[in-house]
Amino acid sequence: YEGRDGGDGVKSLLNALVKRYGPSSLTAIRRDENGYIDDSSSQLPEVRKAKEALRQIALLFSLLKEYQPVDSITQILAADDDAKIDAICMLDPGTGYLPPSYGVPNVSLSEPPTLGAKLFPGSLAKGEARLVETGRILKLDLVDGGSGYVETPEVQISAPPGDGTNKKVQATAKAVPKA
């Protein structure tokens, strides 16, 4: 493509096809306040066409035996899925999170593969913990569902402070992808 050979030519062609058939129509789509596609509008046929074009481009390039652009294919499929996180479920509320000496534990989710991508920039999901006076986490709130996930991200909750006097158990949770 354009006189290039090898893997760079494949990536260049892939990017040109995606620019022509994919993101311009997807980025023009109206979304609600949470970032989800506004289903009430007449734009759904255009969304379906753009997503189908992206799936076909990803399928075409996944058939290559050499120079297969795996990262680009992953980003295209993540953009096609428009995968977001819907909730964070508490598995174990832990113990030893004692406010105000500790404060609110940090809740972080792993990055989507599209974070920082040029064509389909994903965004990081964010969570926040709510504590009770007993030193346990009451619940986890999803602040931002993020975008560009191709698999369920890991949820990390910071450990309670350790002073060696009381038994402390780190809280655990899992993310729930939007169905």
Q: Is 134 helix (H, G, I), strand (E, B) or coil?
A: coil
Note the pLDDT tens digit of each residue in 82-121. Answer: 678 889 999 999 888 876 556 788 899 998 877 766 666 7
Which is it for strands 126-131 and 172-177: parallel, antiparallel or unpaired?
Answer: unpaired
Which is it for strands 107-109 and 155-157: parallel, antiparallel or unpaired?
Answer: antiparallel
CA dihedral sign, ordered 117, 105, 178, 74: positive
- pLDDT higher than 60, residue 3: no
DSSP notation for 68-107: --HHHHHHHHHHHHT--EEEEEEEE--B---TTTS-SPPE
Alpha-carbon Rg of the chain, whole angstroms? 21
* Distance (Å, whole) CA 132 – CA 166: 17
Note the pLDDT tens digit of each residue in 36-65. Answer: 555 555 666 666 777 788 778 888 888 877
CA dihedral sign, ordered 49, 52, 58, 62: negative
Q: In DSSP terms, which residues pair with 131 in a beta bridge? A: 137
Backbone angles phi, psi at 172, to 5 degrees: -135, 155
pTM above 0.75, yes or no: no
CA 9, chain centre distance (Å): 28
Which residues have a Cβ under 8 Å from the Cβ of 92 and sit 6 or more positions away?
169, 171, 172
